[in-house]
Structure 1
Amino acid sequence: MPRRSTRGPLDMDTTAASTTEPPPSATRTASPAPTAMPIRTASPASSLLSPTQHTNPSIRTRSKSPGSRTMQLDLSPLLRPSLYAPVPTSQVATPFLSSSHQPVPDTDLETLLSHRRFLHAAEKATDLLTSGSISPSDTQKVLELLYARFSCLVLCNLSPLAAKEAKPLSDLLARESAAYTRPFREAFLAQIPWHLRLLLLHLQVTGQVDGHRKCIMGLYALGADCRSLSQKARLEKNETKVKAWEQRLQDLGIRVAAELVEMGELETAKRHLDTISLDTADEMERRRMCTRQTLLLLKIGDTEAAKTCLSAFPSATTLDENAQLDKGILETLTSLSSSMYPAAVTQLQDLASSSYPPSSALVKHNLAIAHLYTNNVNIAANMLETLVQEEGTVFPALLFNLSTMYELKTEKAREKKLGLVDTVAGLDDGQGRSSAQTGGFEKGLGEFKL
Structure 2
Amino acid sequence: MARDRIVEADPEDLDLVLSLWYIRLSCLARLRFFNQTSTECVNLYTVLEGIEPASARQWLFDKKLPFELEVLHVRLKYWAGDHMGYLDALAGLLKQCKAKARHASGRKDASTAAMWQERGARMCLIIASQLIEMKDFAAAARLLEPLCRQGDVRSPHVQSAVARIYLQGGYVSAAARHFGAVARDPSADASLKALNSALLASANGDWPAAVEALQQMLAADPENFVAINNLAVAYLSQGRIQEGIRMLEEAIKLSPSTTLQAEPLLFNLSTMYELRSTAGIDKKMNMLVDVAKWAGDGLRTTCLKMPAS
TM-score (norm 1): 0.56
Q: Which amino acid is the alignment partner of residue 206 of structure 2? A: M
Q: Classify 1:399/1:212 alpha carbon distance in 2 versus 1 (closer, same or farther; 3 Å).
A: closer
Counterpart residue number, 2:193: 327
| CA displacement, residues 214-240 of structure 1 (integer Å, 9 cap, x when unaligned) | 223222221222123223332443333
* Residue pair 2:156, 2:187 contacting (<8 A) in 1 also: no
Counterpart residue number, 2:74: 201
Instruction: Return the offset for 1:205.
Output: 4.3
Counterpart residue number, 1:165: 40
The answer as to 2:261 corresponding to 1:409 is no
Q: Which amino acid is the alignment partner of residue 99 of structure 2? A: S
RMSD: 3.6
Unpaired runs of at least 5, structure 1: 1-108, 110-124, 426-440
Which residue of the other structure, out of 298, 301, 305, is the alignment partner of 2:174? 305
Which residue of the other structure, out of 205, 210, 221, is the alignment partner of 1:356? 221
* Residue pair 2:198, 2:210 contacting (<8 A) in 1 also: yes
**Percent of counterpart pairs with the same letter?**
25
Which residue of the other structure, out of 37, 60, 64, is the alignment partner of 1:187? 60
* Residue pair 2:218, 2:228 contacting (<8 A) in 1 also: yes
**Larger RCO, structures 1/2 (Cα 8 Å, 6+ apart):** 1
| CA displacement, residues 53-87 of structure 1 (integer Å, 9 cap, x when unaligned) | xxxxxxxxxxxxxxxxxxxxxxxxxxxxxxxxxxx
Counterpart residue number, 2:240: 376
| CA displacement, residues 328-381 of structure 1 (integer Å, 9 cap, x when unaligned) | 21221233234433332232223333x23543x432332112111222110111
* Residue pair 2:199, 2:210 contacting (<8 A) in 1 also: yes
| CA displacement, residues 294-318 of structure 1 (integer Å, 9 cap, x when unaligned) | 2322233322222222233273434
Aligned length: 298
Instruction: Measure, in 1, the Cα distance between the counterparts of 2:25 and 2:35.
Output: 10
Q: Classify 1:154/1:281 alpha carbon distance in 2 versus 1 (closer, same or farther; 3 Å).
A: same
Higher mean C-alpha displacement, 265-274 vs 138-147: 265-274
Counterpart residue number, 1:76: none
Instruction: Measure, in 1, the Cα distance between the counterparts of 2:117 and 2:91.
Output: 14
Counterpart residue number, 1:55: none
TM-score (norm 2): 0.77
Instruction: Return the offset for 1:202.
Output: 1.1
Q: Which amino acid is the alignment partner of residue 349 of structure 1? A: Q
The answer as to 2:28 corresponding to 1:153 is yes
Instruction: Measure, in 2, the Cα distance between the counterparts of 1:269 and 1:340.
Output: 27
2:108 alignment partner, SS class: coil
* Residue pair 2:137, 2:166 contacting (<8 A) in 1 also: no
The answer as to 2:309 corresponding to 1:443 is no
Which residue of the other structure, out of 212, 231, 250, is the alignment partner of 1:386? 250
Q: Classify 1:330/1:128 alpha carbon distance in 2 versus 1 (closer, same or farther; 3 Å).
A: same
Q: Which amino acid is the alignment partner of residue 294 of structure 2? A: E
Q: Which amino acid is the alignment partner of residue 189 of structure 1? A: D
The answer as to 2:121 corresponding to 1:250 is yes
Matches within 5 A, 1:41-440: 109=1, 125-126=2-3, 129=6, 132-171=7-46, 179-182=52-55, 184-208=57-81, 211-274=82-145, 276-282=146-152, 285-313=154-182, 315-319=184-188, 323-353=189-219, 355-359=220-224, 361-389=225-253, 391-392=254-255, 394-395=258-259, 396-397=261-262, 398-399=265-266, 401-413=268-280, 416=283
Unpaired runs of at least 5, structure 2: none
Instruction: Measure, in 2, the Cα distance between the counterparts of 1:313 and 1:228.
Output: 31
Instruction: Return the offset for 1:248.
Output: 1.9
Instruction: Measure, in 1, the Cα distance between the counterparts of 2:40 and 2:117.
Output: 31
Instruction: Measure, in 2, the Cα distance between the counterparts of 1:448 and 1:298.
Output: 22
* Residue pair 1:173, 1:185 contacting (<8 A) in 2 also: no
Instruction: Measure, in 2, the Cα distance between the counterparts of 1:324 and 1:282.
Output: 22
Q: Which amino acid is the alignment partner of residue 213 of structure 1? A: M
Instruction: Measure, in 2, the Cα distance between the counterparts of 1:336 and 1:254.
Output: 24
| CA displacement, residues 58-117 of structure 1 (integer Å, 9 cap, x when unaligned) | xxxxxxxxxxxxxxxxxxxxxxxxxxxxxxxxxxxxxxxxxxxxxxxxxxx3xxxxxxxx
Instruction: Return the offset for 1:417.
Output: 5.4
Q: Classify 1:277/1:157 alpha carbon distance in 2 versus 1 (closer, same or farther; 3 Å).
A: closer
* Residue pair 2:51, 2:57 contacting (<8 A) in 1 also: no
Q: Classify 1:172/1:261 alpha carbon distance in 2 versus 1 (closer, same or farther; 3 Å).
A: farther
Q: Classify 1:417/1:152 alpha carbon distance in 2 versus 1 (closer, same or farther; 3 Å).
A: farther
| CA displacement, residues 106-135 of structure 1 (integer Å, 9 cap, x when unaligned) | xxx3xxxxxxxxxxxxxxx45655xx4233
* Residue pair 1:167, 1:204 contacting (<8 A) in 2 also: no
